[in-house]
């Protein structure tokens, strides 16, 4: 039985969620983005992220975890976070 390796994508980059943390980008590229949901609010019957922290992280495992963080930003909502994450990844992704 083969494992499914297809991920949900947003603007061409894989998007993977683990609880309140979202990883965006290809691990084969130099950088990925980690988005942490800090606060959420109820909209109708859904929980919606209202405050998130965005980290551009190097995929170079030889660096210590602190050195791997290249950029940090705080945004009001997931859309704003994905918007800046896409810009960061577009500038650093391998062609």
Task: Give tens-digit pLDDT for 8-37.
Answer: 999 999 999 999 999 999 999 999 999 999
> Checking DSSP bridges between strand 46-58 and strand 31-43, what pairing results, if any?
antiparallel
Q: Say what percent of the chain tops pLDDT 70.
A: 93
Q: What confidence score (pLDDT) does residue 7 get?
A: 80
Q: Where are the chain's structural domains?
A: 16-92
């Amino acid at each position: 039985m083969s494992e499914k390796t297809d991920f949900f994508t947003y603007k061409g980059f894989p998007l993977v969620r683990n609880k309140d943390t979202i990883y965006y980008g290809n691990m084969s590229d130099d950088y990925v983005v980690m988005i942490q949901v800090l606060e959420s609010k109820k909209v109708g019957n859904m929980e919606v992220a209202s405050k998130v922290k965005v980290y551009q992280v190097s995929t170079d495992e030889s660096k210590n975890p602190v050195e791997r963080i290249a950029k940090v930003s705080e945004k009001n909502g997931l859309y704003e976070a994905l918007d800046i994450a896409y810009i960061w990844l577009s500038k650093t992704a391998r062609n």
